[in-house]
Structure 1
């Protein structure tokens, strides 16, 4: 992403492009896979905002970061959970900058985070809804449709796990009948998958 920062035009700010590129690379280097992709996307939003505001990311104050949070809330109208996640990326980025001695202190320290409800308002499918969904998947001419719905609804895999898995990643535990397991990560670790779906009641 930031191997080439030509998409960011900092004509009005004094930040050295090489220093910024190095800082971004050091921060993103802590992540892998989809986590890195999403973190990269959130950081890009922040750096674009800095560009639009003619702000030097290395010369910001806490007030500037708070303005960014208000922009996410009032202009982009993101949900509190999204604002909190994107702020967490900014906090993490500046924490690494302090660790690497690029900054003496983080401008994101003490920035107030939005309140996020303890329970997600997202609802799962009811039993009848899931039955209708898997019935429709069975009638599909594409066998991948049924496989995906079964992985999501019956094994309880997340969408990123399901789409990123090969058939060789799925198996059974060693003790019969053995719970279903999914292999994850570059080291081939596995974890149990739910034996039942998790529809709402």
Structure 2
């Protein structure tokens, strides 16, 4: 039985056949971690409706607003509330398109204002370098894992999901093809130091996961988190560091190094450039203000 079906059937006694079919149909349009996240959102929303004696397709805008306020009262972050509401909006839009309901009650739902400033622990250039040096003194697997996170900016799911068969050579570049968020397949270059670390990690193996446990199982996200935290401690980093911290450090370092925002957005696989801008610590710097460039540009034309 699929994860999606199991998640929905948890509340099967409270669901009509139409509700269950519509939920499954909506979730079937997604896969991977996106579907898992939407499944969790709808499971909690369905449970809330059940507890408050509401049917999914009898919900009004005010009822959905009450669900959002309940999440806030329970201390959920604004980003979490916004994501859950986004899922609900998508679900009712799907139901409307399929003719299950005449009008979506979630069209004009107010969503919390999201703080676009990243609050992930920041690693400066020296700290990131120390982590990479320490990783190089660890096992080949751990070194390769940290290298892909820190020097390619991969998400942890993309890193541990990578397979040996996805390694390649393209116009002189060592490459790795990964499935990114939303199911997008992307081929990216590997810096020579990263390629060497990956080669050492896979050894004589010719297929299967790049990152495996001693018993041959694929490394999961929890194990990857433990690896990163252990290496950060050994490097003398006292901040709270996880796999996403290394991805954060990659994006910040790219922006600090002067890589154009559009190129960093592409490398990070961000759909919205505002997400990438959250990592730009120098965007408030007066030294980079456009007025200096514009003034120089116009002065050159006026001569």
TM-score w.r.t. length of structure 2: 0.57
Q: Structure 1 unaligned runs (5+)?
A: none
1:3 aligns with 2:10: no
Matched residue, 2:70: 71
Matched residue, 2:93: 95
Give the CA RMSD over aligned residues: 2.6
Count of aligned positions: 192
TM-superposed CA distance for 1:112, in Å, is 0.4
Q: Secondary structure at the match of 1:103?
A: coil
Instruction: Work out the CA distance in 1 between the residues paired with 2:34 and 2:161.
Output: 13
Matched residue, 2:39: 40
Equivalent positions of 1:133-152 (< 5 A) are: 133-140=131-138, 142-152=139-149
1:198 aligns with 2:198: no
1:113 aligns with 2:111: yes
Q: Structure 2 unaligned runs (5+)?
A: 195-249, 257-303
1:87-145 deviations in Å (ceiling 9; x for gaps):
100001111111111111111121101101234333442122222222332333x4321
1:155-182 deviations in Å (ceiling 9; x for gaps):
12111110111122233432x3x37442
Instruction: Work out the CA distance in 2 between the residues paired with 1:39 and 1:116.
Output: 19
- Which of the two has higher C-alpha Rg? 2
2:167/2:174 contact within 8 Å kept: no
Instruction: Work out the CA distance in 2 between the residues paired with 1:48 and 1:146.
Output: 43
Of 83, 86, 90, which residue of structure 2 is paired with 1:85? 83
Change (3 A) 1:194 1:55: farther
Q: Secondary structure at the match of 2:5?
A: coil
Of 167, 170, 176, which residue of structure 2 is paired with 1:170? 167
Change (3 A) 1:135 1:125: same
Q: Moved runs in structure 1, 4+ residues, more than 4 A? A: 193-196
Change (3 A) 1:124 1:182: farther
